[in-house]
């Protein structure tokens, strides 16, 4: 028995000596350089990398010439694409370097972390473990210290970031051999992990999660040792080394990961970006400055280490060029001086090469002359970077992603994280194609472009877009697969589905407009049918009014796409008839919020009806406005706007308007009278400037209020007058100072001036008064 135990222990020891755990920092260029050196020295038969095991299916594509980092492996649930996760790589990521090293030499390479199928199942502990954790007596929660901060404090550094950068990422390519550095990392991180467990500790859930992940890793390491006689290199986060060295049997690890919930997962490669690699983006494993790390990697990846001087000079030359692009006088001499200053600072601080802090201080002094404003203008380009990765055409993509790439080639649009403004002429084939592309993307939730020009929504022949890409939009493309495998089919499916799930007339009207500008007549027809059916049973007049305006704008101004004009005009007429029939009774006893929404909708509807040009509908609308002014149950703001529209369209003469105005403010409570006045006056001072009778009726009403009523009415009046421009306010004051004056109407002025009378019909036509049904 003793001999058997001794033989088993000897075999276990032999296996362990064939495993080399190489502890790295994710996305660290110094770690990547050291790792490359260690792999060259070890020449392992197999390379294992921390990462979801579903990534094994993507490994072969990493060596294709069109694969240009930053890239990410995208894992998403087959039945819910929004449930997704990324595993990003930059060219300076140690995992990417290990992957390429193994592929270039024909060695086996595998991912060994727990599967994405487990991570995305959103069940880090099973019910039994949760019950055990909840019944434990937990000590008061303590702040978990970063193990690097612990090491930094012991070594005399300010924080863990500075410590790791100085010793690993900016080691300068000199000193100890890579294997010696990794041995030192293992010792230090193991001690730091043990110290953290003793002092700060992790929660029970966190501990269980880490234990399970490391159980998966140990299992894969054992399997690799069975497959290969030679050395096995495992590239993992330095934090995990202590856990992987822990003595645990295969049976114990199998029990720990047994029966974990899993879901079906799809995997593909996706472009990534510098900004998404940065810690500022919210990426937990991100780095502060991807742009700076790329510059370090350029130094380390060369065949020969050129030293600190060219390294500093190249960075400062790049900085000077960016400053010149922003209009600053950054000379070559100043760039040379900045490089010398950075080298001097690094020498004083005992560093092999200048760090980012030294480079920034030198730039601020020699190139920016102490002006941080200049440096802030280029910080994103310089420190974060602007690179977006590219996927080789041979990589299998999601069907919708393939169609997206095809559209990008057709429209000559290239995703970029830099915000770009683009002006489109829809009368050109190229402009119309780009517009259609962007509108369809918005319908499926891929908001690459944002429409800036408000007039573009009116179906005019120009559009102004703001384009900004971020890699999260790749997930949105995956989510849209449920609607179709091409951009057109997905946009149709998403639009029709949204129309089937809403009874809001305004939302349906927006969907009709969106489908038309996206050149989706099938979806537009379905939304029109849905809108007509919903309008029959709808009693919300505000929603009906809101729906009319976007539809009228399309019919009025036209569109560069195919337009079902007959169906749209019929729909608008149906909606307008419903509104005219129910607007008065639907405006009784509205509360403040309902009244505010109603008057906004009335303004839009009144304008749209004038543009639509249907005389019968317009006349009926004016009759309803008159009835609302005389209806005592109508909400005061609605009555105020109704009277204002009758005044502006000259449906009522000045005496009738003045009488109605007086009736609604004299003897009424300050709240009701003030709400009426606010709505009547809102938007323009001309009504008071051109109609002195109304002005002095308002003046008399205010003068007759007692102190309490005046104080109560003042906020409403001030809010109404706040919409007047400075010139309008001044002219109102001039009117008040001048006393009561009679202002001639257009008709009276025409009678006194024969030439003006002859020009009056043309003037009315120019101002659009005849189209509003106003008699000369």
CA distance 613 to 607: 11
Summary mean pLDDT of the chain: 79
Confidence category of residue 14, pLDDT binned at 50, 70, 90: very low
**Residue 482: other Cβ atoms inside 10 A:** 15
* CB of 75 closer than 8 Å to CB of 265: yes
Confidence category of residue 401, pLDDT binned at 50, 70, 90: confident
Which of 150-164, 296-310, 404-418, 562-576 reaches the highest mean pLDDT? 404-418
Beta-bridge partner residues of 3: none
Question: Structural domain boundaries of the chain?
Answer: 15-247, 290-384, 399-482
Confidence category of residue 109, pLDDT binned at 50, 70, 90: very high
What would the pLDDT profile of 610-619 be if each residue is shown by its tens digit?
888 888 888 8
> H-helix or E-strand containing 76?
strand 71-77
**According to the model, what pLDDT value does residue 456 have?**
42
DSSP string for 330-377: --HHHHHHHHHHHHHHHHHTT-SS--HHHHHHHIIIIISTT-HHHHHH
Pick from 647, 742, 713, 640: which is nearest to 681 by CA? 640
Which is higher by pLDDT, 77 or 127?
A: 77
What would the pLDDT profile of 689-734 be if each residue is shown by its tens digit?
666 666 666 666 667 667 777 777 677 666 666 666 666 666 666 6
Confidence category of residue 200, pLDDT binned at 50, 70, 90: low
Say if residue 716 is exposed, middle or buried (CB neighbours under 10 Å; 0-12, 13-18, 19+): buried
Return the minimum-mean-pLDDT range out of 247-261, 513-527, 671-685, 709-723: 709-723
3-state helix, strand, coil in the chain (%, to 5): 65, 10, 30
Average pLDDT over residues 92-98: 94
Residue 431 phi/psi, 5-degree rounding, is: -65, -40
Average pLDDT over residues 676-681: 75
* CB of 99 closer than 8 Å to CB of 59: yes
**According to the model, what pLDDT value does residue 364 have?**
92
The answer, yes or no, to whether residue 19 has pLDDT greater than 80, is: yes
What would the pLDDT profile of 747-760 be if each residue is shown by its tens digit?
554 555 566 566 55
């Amino acid at each position: 028995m003793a001999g058997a135990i001794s033989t088993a222990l000897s075999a276990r020891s032999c296996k362990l000596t064939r495993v080399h755990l190489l502890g790295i920092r994710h996305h660290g260029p110094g770690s990547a350089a050291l790792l490359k050196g260690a792999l060259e020295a070890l020449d392992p038969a197999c390379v294992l990398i921390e990462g979801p095991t579903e990534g094994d299916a993507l490994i072969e594509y990493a060596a294709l010439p069109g694969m240009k980092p930053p890239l990410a492996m995208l894992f998403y649930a087959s039945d819910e694409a929004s449930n997704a996760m990324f595993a990003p790589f930059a060219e300076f990521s140690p995992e990417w370097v290990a992957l390429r090293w193994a592929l270039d030499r024909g060695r086996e390479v595998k991912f060994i972390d727990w599967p994405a199928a487990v991570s995305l199942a959103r069940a880090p502990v099973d019910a039994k473990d949760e019950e055990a954790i909840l019944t434990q007596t937990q000590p008061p929660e303590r702040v978990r210290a970063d193990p690097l901060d612990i090491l930094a404090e012991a070594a005399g550094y300010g924080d863990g970031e500075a410590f790791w950068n100085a010793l690993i990422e900016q080691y300068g390519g000199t000193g100890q051999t890579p294997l010696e550095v990794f041995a030192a990392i293992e010792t230090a991180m193991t001690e730091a992990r043990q110290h953290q467990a003793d002092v700060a500790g992790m929660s029970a859930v966190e501990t269980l999660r880490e234990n399970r992940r490391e159980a998966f890793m140990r299992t894969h390491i054992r399997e690799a040792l069975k497959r290969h006689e030679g050395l096995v290199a495992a590239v993992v986060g330095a934090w995990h080394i202590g856990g992987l060295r822990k003595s645990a049997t295969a049976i114990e690890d199998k029990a720990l990961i047994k029966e974990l919930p899993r879901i079906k997962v799809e995997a593909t490669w996706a472009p990534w970006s510098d900004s998404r690699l940065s810690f500022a983006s919210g990426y937990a494993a991100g780095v502060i400055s991807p742009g700076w790390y790329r510059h370090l990697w350029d130094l380390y990846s060369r065949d020969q280490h050129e030293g600190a001087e060219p390294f500093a000079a190249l960075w400062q030359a790049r900085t000077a060029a960016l400053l010149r692009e922003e209009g600053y006088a950054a000379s070559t001499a100043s760039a040379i001086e900045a490089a010398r200053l950075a080298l001097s600072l690094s020498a004083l601080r005992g560093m092999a090469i200048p760090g980012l802090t030294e480079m920034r201080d030198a730039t601020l002094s020699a190139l920016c002359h102490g002006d941080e404003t200049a440096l802030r203008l280029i910080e994103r380009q310089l420190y974060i970077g602007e690179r977006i990765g590219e996927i080789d055409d041979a990589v299998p993509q999601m069907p919708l992603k393939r169609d997206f790439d095809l559209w990008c080639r057709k429209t000559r649009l290239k995703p970029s994280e830099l915000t770009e403004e683009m002006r489109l002429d829809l009368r050109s084939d190229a402009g119309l194609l780009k517009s259609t592309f962007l509108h369809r993307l918005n319908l499926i939730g891929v908001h690459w472009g944002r429409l800036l020009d408000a007039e573009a929504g009116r179906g005019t022949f120009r559009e102004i877009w703001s384009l900004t890409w971020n890699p999260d939009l790749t997930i949105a493309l995956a989510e849209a697969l449920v609607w179709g495998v091409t951009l057109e089919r997905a946009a149709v499916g998403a639009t029709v589905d949204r129309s089937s799930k809403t009874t809001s007339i305004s939302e349906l009207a927006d969907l009709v407009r969106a489908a038309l500008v996206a050149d989706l007549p099938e979806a537009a027809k379905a939304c029109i049918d849905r809108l007509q059916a919903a309008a029959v049973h709808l009693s919300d007049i505000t929603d009906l009014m809101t729906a009319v305006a976007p539809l009228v704008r399309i019919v009025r101004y036209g569109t560069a796409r195919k337009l079902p004009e007959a169906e749209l005009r019929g729909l608008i007429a149906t909606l307008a008839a419903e509104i005219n029939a129910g607007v008065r009774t639907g405006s009784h006893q509205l509360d403040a919020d309902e009244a505010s929404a109603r008057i906004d909708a009335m303004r839009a509807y009144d304008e749209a009806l004038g543009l639509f040009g249907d005389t019968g509908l317009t006349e009926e609308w004016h009759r309803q406005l008159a009835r609302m002014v005389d209806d005592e149950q109508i909400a005061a703001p609605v009555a105020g706007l109704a009277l204002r529209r009758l005044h502006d369209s000259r449906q009522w003469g000045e005496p009738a308007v003045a009488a109605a105005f007086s009736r609604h403010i004299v003897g009424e409570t300050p709240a009701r009278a003030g709400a009426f006045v606010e709505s009547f006056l809102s938007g323009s001072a001309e009504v008071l400037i051109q109609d002195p009778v109304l002005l002095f009726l308002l003046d008399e009403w205010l003068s007759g209020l007692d102190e309490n009523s005046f104080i109560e009415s003042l906020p409403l009046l001030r809010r109404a007058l706040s919409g007047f421009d400075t010139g309008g306010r001044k002219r109102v004051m001039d009117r008040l100072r001048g006393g009561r004056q009679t202002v001639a109407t257009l008709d009276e002025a025409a009678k006194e001036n024969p030439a003006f009378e002859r020009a009056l019909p043309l003037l009315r036509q120019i101002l659009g008064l005849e189209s509003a049904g106003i008699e000369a």
